[in-house]
Chains A and B, each alone.
Chain A
Amino acid sequence: MEKTNKKRLWITLLCAGALLILVTLLENVLDPSKNVMLFISLKKGAVYALVAVSMNLLNGFTGLFSLGQAGFMLLGAYTYAILTIPADQRDAVYYIYNGSAINFSLPELLGGGPVGLVLGVLLALVLGGCVAAAVAWLIGLPVLRLKSDYLAIATLGFGEIIRAVFQWDKLGPVTNGANALKNFPTFSSFNIQGGLRLSTCVAFLLAGICIAVILLLINSTYGRAFKAIRDDEVAAEAMGINLARHKRLSFCISSFFAGVGGGLFAMLVNQAQAKTFTTAMTYEILLIVVIGGIGSVSGSCIAAFLYVAASEWWLRFLDTETYIGGFKVPLLRNGFRMVVFSVIIMIVVLFFRRGIMGDRELPDLLAGLSGKTRRKEAAGK
């Protein structure tokens, strides 16, 4: 048991390391201007993978159906943005409110330069997660007593409330009201001038570390307790698992990583604006979780990349009117991409209910495959 666990750990680490190196290599070898789409999709996929995994922790591993993910992402994104906008840019960003109420920037506070940048960004991301977790803790007090779909609708409502609060004019000097926060360090800030391009690598690294932590949690004694709650609440409680505490824990941790994911999202889209974090975004993430398989971390990751690539890249040709020879391909026009895409989603939901991975993980699958071939070989002999 221990041994296979160790083996799995090694496989996972190796895969992750290889992926990281591959991504860095790709980014530095391929012509960046020809392959922007690839890298943007990769970055977005990494961010969505993190957010999907954090949602999966809650929905798939603890059995709490929450739809507040976008709200927590918003908290993380704003915290990150507010703390990292350079001081001399603040007047330009908060131009409506004649400057910001907060006049420091973490990267500069930590000494500026590359070291300050790295430390400041990391600290701001973590703080963003902490803010999200703290708010989750507060909301969890009343809301987590609710059962499945009531919980879903209450968290959904919470997301809307958060959005309205952040758009409130009176908070303008902090949140910049309806205006976008921008000019903060993004993934591209990590590209070394004239040297290594690290932006995609940074996105993968940050998201990867967070996902690894979630994985560690899931495989710890707490993660097992979460799964017990998911499978049978009454039995879990009878076996000494404090429901309120563990649900809150799961909710806060999930929100923490959603917050970090929000910060990363802000880095991805170069701005933070409350109107981006809509319920539609939560639904998108939920669909990623479903497509990947509820209860599978690797499924969520794979699905995140597939989802982003399919919806924003591969299927884009469906949006443009195309002529093959003199023949106009029917149906192709704006909006068709999303129709096709939602049909695909419906097919997955209805006919491939377990998603790509079900509740298995990639190493299981690999181990299973190699096991099978070995058995086959044995049978052959």
Chain B
Amino acid sequence: MSETVLKVENITMQFGGVVAVDNLNLEVNRGEIVALIGPNGAGKTTAFNVITGVYQPTNGAVWFQGEKIVENHPQGKMKALYKGEHAGEYTAVLAPTPDRVTRLGMARTFQNIRLWKSQTVFDNVLIAKHCRSTSNVFSASFRLNRKEETRQRENVEELLETVGLADVKNELATSLPYGKQRRLEIARALAAEPKLLLLDEPAAGMNPQETEELTAFIGEIRDRFQLTVFLIEHHMNLVMNISQRIYVLDFGRLIAHGTPAEIQNNKRVIDAYLGVSEDA
């Protein structure tokens, strides 16, 4: 049960002089729901972007299912700027593009929903299946992949049924209400058949009732698709209710890590969220 799915190792992400993520280490085990929390600008989304290959980290490595997928060490201008720990520990460069990371078995959603606007709900999910398709342009164009296509379409129908969007499948994605768009984004991520689901603030902008539904929904899909879930969230209710473990990030640094109960009583976390006198 405690097999590590995702391991973030000494990740530092520096933009010029600004350190967005500073020497981050974390692990996510199979079947867990793990949350990454922290105040605005703490570097959560940046961490996500490093994991999914959008950014190349300044230093450090990311392991996925026991395989090193991202690795980098300071180069070019950063060589002089970077004075962090673990300098020199990493020597190789591994920089997969986000699509490769996704095909390895990680899928994500976005903080500000990024659906394909001119496509229907059904097509939004179907397109995500493209990365699992084995046909080439030729066979796809001349419909030699009919079997696969039919299977994919059935899968998508099923998936939409599961997430409760089957009744709106022919609507335009953008015509859905906000809550459903969130769901659709998750459904789209699921269509890529991930092992690890990364959710970037899935409850942002939702009312309490929607949040509650979402909480239940995340648990449901985890069980149903045997997923591991790693999420960024602000909604403490949601985080405390569903996560097994929580990492807390502040100014790019990890300041706490533990079960929800431990985090709720951690003084540094409370300070980070409420602000302490030294700040003022």
Given a CB threshold of 8 Å, the question of whether A touches B is answered with yes
Interfacial residues, chain A to chain B (CB-CB below 8 A): 1-2, 213, 216-217, 220-222, 224-225, 227-228, 230-232, 234-244, 249, 253, 295, 359
Q: Is the interface of A mostly helix, strand, loop or mixed?
A: helix
With A221-B135, A228-B116, A231-B118 known as contacts, the answer to whether A237 contacts B98 (CB < 8 A) is: yes
Whether B126 pairs with A241 at a CB distance below 8 angstroms is: no
Residue of B nearest to A218 (CB): B141
With A216-B142, A224-B130 known as contacts, the answer to whether A231 contacts B117 (CB < 8 A) is: yes
Alpha-carbon distance between A225 and B102 when the two chains are bound, in angstroms: 15
Interfacial residues, chain B to chain A (CB-CB below 8 A): 52, 54, 97-100, 102-103, 107-108, 110, 114-119, 122-123, 126-133, 135, 137, 140-143, 145, 149, 152-153, 170, 188-189, 191-192
A235 is contacted by which of B116, B141, B143, B149 (Cβ under 8 Å)?
B116
In whole Å, how far is B17's beta carbon from the nearest beta carbon of chain A? 26
Q: Which residues of B contact A1 (CB under 8 A)?
A: 122, 153, 170
Alpha-carbon distance between A2 and B150 when the two chains are bound, in angstroms: 9
Give 7 closest A-B pairs by Cβ, nearest first. Answer: A240-B131, A240-B102, A231-B116, A235-B114, A220-B140, A217-B141, A239-B128
In whole Å, how far is A306's beta carbon from the nearest beta carbon of chain B? 25
Alpha-carbon distance between A244 and B99 when the two chains are bound, in angstroms: 10
Residue of B nearest to A231 (CB): B116
Whether B98 pairs with A220 at a CB distance below 8 angstroms is: no
In whole Å, how far is B39's beta carbon from the nearest beta carbon of chain A? 25
Q: Which residues of A contact B145 (CB under 8 A)?
A: 221
Whether B122 pairs with A228 at a CB distance below 8 angstroms is: no
13 A-B pairs with CB atoms under 8 Å apart are A1-B170, A2-B153, A216-B141, A224-B123, A227-B127, A231-B116, A231-B118, A232-B115, A236-B99, A236-B127, A238-B107, A241-B99, A241-B127
Q: Which of B140, B188, B192 has the most CB of A within 10 A?
A: B140
Q: Which residues of A contact B149 (CB under 8 A)?
A: 221
Alpha-carbon distance between A222 and B54 when the two chains are bound, in angstroms: 23
Alpha-carbon distance between A307 and B74 when the two chains are bound, in angstroms: 56
B127 is contacted by which of A213, A216, A225 (Cβ under 8 Å)?
A225
In whole Å, how far is A265's beta carbon from the nearest beta carbon of chain B? 24
Whether B192 pairs with A239 at a CB distance below 8 angstroms is: yes
B126 is contacted by which of A224, A232, A242 (Cβ under 8 Å)?
A224
Q: Which residues of A contact B102 (CB under 8 A)?
A: 238-240
Alpha-carbon distance between A225 and B192 when the two chains are bound, in angstroms: 13
B99 is contacted by which of A220, A243, A359 (Cβ under 8 Å)?
A243
Whether B98 pairs with A238 at a CB distance below 8 angstroms is: yes
Q: Which residues of B contact A240 (CB under 8 A)?
A: 99, 102-103, 107, 128, 130-132, 192
Q: Which residues of A contact B152 (CB under 8 A)?
A: 221
Whether A235 pairs with B110 at a CB distance below 8 angstroms is: yes
B130 is contacted by which of A221, A231, A295 (Cβ under 8 Å)?
A221
Q: Which residues of B contact A359 (CB under 8 A)?
A: 118
